[in-house]
Amino acid sequence: GNSVTQMEGPVTLSEEAFLTINCTYTATGYPSLFWYVQYPGEGLQLLLKATKADDKGSNKGFEATYRKETTSFHLEKGSVQVSDSAVYFCALSNSNSGYALNFGKGTSLLVTP
Partner 1 sequence: ETGVTQTPRHLVMGMTNKKSLKCEQHLGHNAMYWYKQSAKKPLELMFVYSLEERVENNSVPSRFSPECPNSSHLFLHLHTLQPEDSALYLCASRDRGGGTEAFFGQGTRLTVV
Query: Cα separation of 60 and 41, whole Å?
Result: 20
Q: What is the DSSP letter of 71?
A: T
> By C-beta, is 55 or 76 nearer to partner 1?
55
Residue among 15 and 53 whose Cβ is closer to partner 1: 53
How far apart (Å, rounded) are the C-alpha atoms in residues 17 and 32?
29
- Binder to partner 1 among 11, 44, 75, 86 (CB under 8 A)? 44
31 counts as binding partner 1 under rule CB under 8 A: yes
Interaction of residue 106 with partner 1, rule CB under 8 A: yes
Peptide bond into 10 cis (omega under 30): yes
Asked if 1 touches partner 1 (CB under 8 A), the answer is no
Out of 8, 12, 20, 46, the residue judged to bind partner 1 by CB under 8 A: 46
**What is the maximal distance between C-alpha atoms in the chain?**
43
Q: Which stretch binds partner 1 (CB under 8 A): 9-17, 60-68, 75-83, 97-105?
A: 97-105
Q: Does 73 bind partner 1 (CB under 8 A)?
A: no
Q: Does 53 bind partner 1 (CB under 8 A)?
A: no
Indicate whether 79 belongs to the interface with partner 1 (CB under 8 A): no
Query: What is the Cα–Cα distance from 109 to 89, expressed in whole angstroms?
Result: 11
* Closest C-alpha among 61, 87, 60, 57 to residue 73: 57
